Amino acid sequence: MSNKLDIILFGATGFTGKRTIPKLHQIITSERLSLTWGIAGRSEQKLKHTLKEIEENNGSICFINIFYGEPIVKACLVTSTHYLDVTGEPEFMEKIQLYYHEEAFKKQIYLISSCGMDSIPCDMGAIFMMKNFKGTLNSIEAFIHITEEGGSHPGPTLNYATWASAVHGLANYEKLTEIRSKLFLNRLPRYKPNLKLKLFSLGSFTLGGPSEEKQKTSLYNLYLEGEGWSEKLSEPTDQFKSPPNKTISVKVTTRNPAYGATCTAAVLSAIMILTESDKMPNGGGCYTPGVAFANTSLIQKLDKYGMKFEIRSKL
């Protein structure tokens, strides 16, 4: 086997990583892609144990052992390798954009964070709405509704790592403010009303993660409400003189959002970079999923593998 792989899955022994491996194998096989892939993590012993579990159902795979996070981004820049993750941590994502976008752009590689449920449904839902809105789309409101098929099942909803990252993000919010002051030289608009950030777990997190039954019965519904004008302006600097006169509603649905759809979205995002980079912006750089994959077939692929995008109404 060549020592160069098309895709390397880091954090493969974690709660989400273990569930991504079968998705990676399934989608590459289903799409008949000639892509080589492997897994990586901090513990060789855990990787071997994970391999033993997976090989029973999915055949042979190889692994490479390396650390995670920012060191991986740096390694990708040194080796001219694309990078993506499923993190939802603004401090990490915006730090990567601040310090590594220019180098990634020059080396023509992509650094794309939040390729899981934190951003893919909302980002690609917005792109889906924009492409189906005839006129000028002005604003989008998003509402998430998560339910369980057959009623609520006992036990936690999410793995502990999600809670830990949320606590860390809140505790280090001042660092995010500092990063944003450097990243966005023009001050961003303030949110209104000005809400105080607080966290309460409601017993939804555990070190062992949710049961398989709870994962399979979890249903995710994202409602996007957009409004704008039926006309298009002739110049970007022109301004409408009347209130918005057109609306559109979009719904994005999927099952097992945290540990099923997230894995699928991450795998398909990686495949987009490898197979449709000619449809992505500027040949390289650090971008959000919506900007990176707007002109690719990601929405169609997500739909094929269980994430549905539909127009509810147009006015």
Domain covering 7-116+257-298: architecture? 3-Layer(aba) Sandwich (3.40)
Cα dihedral 189→190→193→199 (10° resolution): 120
Q: Is 146 helix (H, G, I), strand (E, B) or coil?
A: strand
Burial of 151 (0-12, 13-18, 19+ CB in 10 A): exposed
Mean pLDDT of the chain: 87
> Is 60 exceeded by the pLDDT of residue 209?
yes
Residue 36: what are its φ and ψ, rounded to 5°?
-95, 145
Q: What pLDDT sits at residue 57?
A: 53
Q: Residues of the chain with pLDDT > 90: what percent?
A: 55
> Is 60 exceeded by the pLDDT of residue 68?
no
Any residues with CB less than 8 A from the CB of 309 and at least 6 apart, and which?
124, 125, 128, 250, 251, 252, 299, 302, 303
> Is 70 exceeded by the pLDDT of residue 66?
no
> Is 70 exceeded by the pLDDT of residue 58?
no
pTM: 0.86
Residue 34: what are its φ and ψ, rounded to 5°?
-95, 65
* Domain ranges (residues) in the chain: 7-116+257-298, 120-255
Higher-confidence residue of 250 and 150: namely 250
Q: What pLDDT sits at residue 168?
A: 81
Q: pLDDT confidence of 61, banded at 50, 70, 90?
A: very low
165 token code pair: 């990252």
CA separation for the pair 130, 140 (Å, rounded): 10
Q: What pLDDT sits at residue 115?
A: 95
The pLDDT tens digits of the residues spanning 216-275 come to 899 999 999 999 999 998 887 889 999 999 999 999 999 999 889 999 999 999 999 999
> Is 50 exceeded by the pLDDT of residue 1?
no
Instruction: Please list the alpha-helical segments (H only) found in 31-69.
Output: 44-58
Element holding 139 (H helix, E strand):
strand 136-148
Any residues with CB less than 8 A from the CB of 92 and at least 6 apart, and which?
69, 70, 113
